[in-house]
Structure formats: structure tokens, C-alpha cells
Amino acid sequence: MRIFLTACAAVVVLAGQAAAAGATPPQPGPEMARLTKALAGTWSITFRREPSVQAPKGETAKGEEVWRPGPGGFSLIEDYRSSGELGRHMGLEVTWWDEDARIYQVLWCDNGGPPGCLVIKHGMNWESDDLVATNEWQEDGKTFVSKEVFSDITPRSFKQIVYEGESGREKKLFTILALKTKSPR
């Protein structure tokens, strides 16, 4: 334990010396700049779930998404809250650029039940002007896919549609329409 604490102290001292010597701190790359420019801010949202087993009549909810840069601008953090006919939904997303994989990695956590948090298997990337995240999992020997598409992205609004289902048979699960209420500082 003493060795660990000594090592941590050395890292802090060296980092402080580098900053004091005028070393230029690392800057986020163009991928994070593009993502942050597209999504950073506070957004008023309208959520519409398609009819399903969980919600035979569908569902409508209202809420807010707040997207802000993480430490140093190397990540983008989303704080999601909505309330509707099926109750309150809260979520937290952390997205960062993985240079080696050439994708945005996405960690999503919410109050929707187990597992609590998951890393989106195939990450997220730009497909022309749309931002697309794709997850995949196995259930009862079958492959299921979830695809989240951010489209019609402007400085004032965007549309978010999630498709989900057995691979090759995905259906629209829900749509979020977002209107910017506050730009980032």
C-alpha cells in the first residue's frame, strides 16, 4: 500500500511540474470536437414509445437531456431524465473517442433494471450526417440488435430513433425529439 501511495504522489508531482513548466496540455481530437459541437447543451425532449409488450398503448414522456464535455473535453457526458405514463426514467451516458478502434465507445447506465450499465458493443460512429450507435446481444440462442440513430442534427434540434429486435427484424422502439434550450458555456 505504501508503494502504491508513493507512486501516486510521484505522478501528481510530475504532472504538476509539467504544468508549471508550461507544457501544453493535450487537446481532444477532431472526433470529440465534432461530437461536442453537435450535442453539447441542454435539450428539452419529447419521448414517444411505440406500442409493445411492455407498453401495449405506447407511451409519451417529457424530459431533458444535458450533454456536457467530460474532463479535458476527452469525453461527452449525457444526463437523461424523463417522466411519462410508465414512470420516471433516468440515465447517464459517457462517450469517448477510441482511436485504436476508430469508434466512439459508449457507456450507458440507467434505472431500467439489470444490468444497470452496459458498454455499447459496436460503439457509435458518424454515417454521413447521422450519428449511429449499435449494440448486439444474445438471448435464448438468438442475436438481438439495438440501433440508435441521431438524425436531423442542427444547432437547435435533433431526432433520436431507437430500433430494436432480433437481428434483421428490428422495429422502431421509440423516438425522441430534442429542442435546445441552453447552449454550453
Q: Could you tell me the residue ranges of all domains in the chain?
A: 28-182
The residues near 112 (Cβ < 8 Å, ≥ 6 apart) are 89, 91
Q: By C-alpha distance, which of 164, 182, 184 is closest to 174? A: 164
Q: Please, are residues 29 and 97 in contact by the beta-carbon 8 Å criterion?
A: yes
Measure Cα distances from 74 to 67, 92, 108 in Å: 13, 16, 17
Q: Please, are residues 127 and 150 in contact by the beta-carbon 8 Å criterion?
A: no
pLDDT confidence of residue 11 = 40
Amino acid occupying residue 181:
T
pLDDT confidence of residue 12 = 43
Instruction: Tell me the pLDDT tens digit for each residue of 133-175.
Output: 999 999 999 999 999 999 999 999 999 999 999 999 999 999 9
pLDDT confidence of residue 179 = 97
pLDDT confidence of residue 13 = 43
Q: Which CATH superfamily is domain 28-182 in?
A: Calycin beta-barrel core domain (2.40.128.20)
pTM of the model: 0.84
- Residue ranges of the chain with per-residue pLDDT less than 50: 1, 4-15, 18
The residues near 181 (Cβ < 8 Å, ≥ 6 apart) are 41, 42, 43, 44, 64
- Spatial separation of the C-alpha atoms in residues 129 and 115, rounded to whole Å: 31
pLDDT confidence of residue 164 = 93
pLDDT confidence of residue 55 = 83
pLDDT confidence of residue 20 = 53
